[in-house]
């Protein structure tokens, strides 16, 4: 057996970039969650789920597709769908084209909730992530996010969720 290879440690500039990215990844989701809980009584994941439905034709999606779009597991999206259904914001029904699937459908009350919630949420997104940046930095952020996403998922396929 050979000697283990020395890890390729981060240099000072790489370490600084990594810590900045981790700071964003750790702090942004709770900040968005707090704003949505405070102003709308919902979590960021619940809002994202309803927003995804609001942007889809007929405001309906298979829950399995919704899980991919929401970057959540099928189990998590199913639990959220159940909570949102109890609040009257979505309904669930078997997919008429294939009964093995369940559709989540944004109700009129759910649509109203998204419409009511979106303006303050967009302002918080802007305040926390976009306003601090110049236009050049915004373009860099877009390119950086796309490159990191490509490195994580080089085939561009959605990861399989359980």
pTM: 0.85
Tens digit of pLDDT for each residue in 50-109? 999 999 989 999 999 999 988 889 999 999 999 999 999 999 999 999 989 999 999 999
Quote the pLDDT of residue 71. 85
Q: Report yes or no on 20 lying in a domain.
A: no
Q: Report yes or no on 156 lying in a domain.
A: no
Tens digit of pLDDT for each residue in 12-37? 999 999 999 999 999 999 999 999 99
Q: Report yes or no on 62 lying in a domain.
A: yes
Burial of residue 118 (CB within 10 Å: 0-12, 13-18, 19+) is middle
Instruction: Provide the pLDDT confidence category of residue 112 given band limits of 50, 70 and 90.
Output: very high
Burial 16-28 (b: 16+ CB within 10 A, else e): eeeeeeeeeeeee
Q: Report yes or no on 32 lying in a domain.
A: no
Q: Report yes or no on 114 lying in a domain.
A: yes
Report d(CA 25, CA 19) in Å as an integer: 10
Instruction: Provide the pLDDT confidence category of residue 161 given band limits of 50, 70 and 90.
Output: very low
Helix (H) or strand (E) holding 4: none
* Domain carrying residue 105: 42-138
Alpha helices in 55-134 (DSSP H): 63-69, 74-86, 108-125
Helix (H) or strand (E) holding 102: strand 102-106
Alpha helices in the chain (DSSP H): 12-40, 44-54, 63-69, 74-86, 108-125, 135-152
Question: Which CATH number does the domain housing residue 74 bear?
Answer: 1.10.10.10
* Count of structural domains within the chain: 1
């Amino acid at each position: 057996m050979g000697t283990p290879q020395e890890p390729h440690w981060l240099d000072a500039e790489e370490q600084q970039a990594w810590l900045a990215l981790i700071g964003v990844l750790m702090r942004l989701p709770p900040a968005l969650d707090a704003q949505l809980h405070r102003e709308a009584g919902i979590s960021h994941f619940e809002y994202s789920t309803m927003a995804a439905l609001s942007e889809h034709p007929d405001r309906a999606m298979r829950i399995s597709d919704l899980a991919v779009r929401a970057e959540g597991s099928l189990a998590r999206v199913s639990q959220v769908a159940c909570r949102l259904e109890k609040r009257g914001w979505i309904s669930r029904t078997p997919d008429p084209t294939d009964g093995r699937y369940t559709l989540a459908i944004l109700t009129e009350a759910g649509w109203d909730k998204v419409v009511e919630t979106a303006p303050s949420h967009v302002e918080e997104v802007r305040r926390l992530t976009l306003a601090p940046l110049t236009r050049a930095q915004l373009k860099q952020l877009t390119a950086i996010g796309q490159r990191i996403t490509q490195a994580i998922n080089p085939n561009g396929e959605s990861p399989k969720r359980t």
